[in-house]
Amino acid sequence: MKIIEEKDGDLGDLSGVQFDSDIRGGYAYFWSSGFIDFQLVDYIKEVELVEYTTIEVGEKSYQEIFGTLIRHLK
């Protein structure tokens, strides 16, 4: 796992995590402007389990935002 911290990007300050195993890898990035990016890839099947996604958080719950990602990680 790798922690990401960057200042003054296109969408503001960025905090995030990148994760990899022999089977799956992906990331979740949190922008100070209220956006979240994430993706999950299956390295064995060579497919995106969760396509590259950018969401403006607004009033959405974590379940709405990360539900699909979490289901694939179980």
Would you say residue 65 has pLDDT above 90?
A: no
Q: How many domains does the chain have?
A: 1
Q: Of the ranges 3-7, 13-17, 28-32, 70-74, which one carries the lowest mean pLDDT score? A: 70-74
Query: Long-range contact list for 47-54, CB < 8 A, 24+ apart?
Result: 49/24, 50/26
Q: What is the pTM of this model?
A: 0.83
Domain hosting 44: range is 2-73
Which residue did the predictor score with more confidence, 44 or 65?
44
Tokens of 16: 């995030």
Would you say residue 56 has pLDDT above 80?
A: yes
Query: Residue 18's Cα: distance from chain center in Å?
Result: 8
Average pLDDT of the segment spanning 53-74 = 86
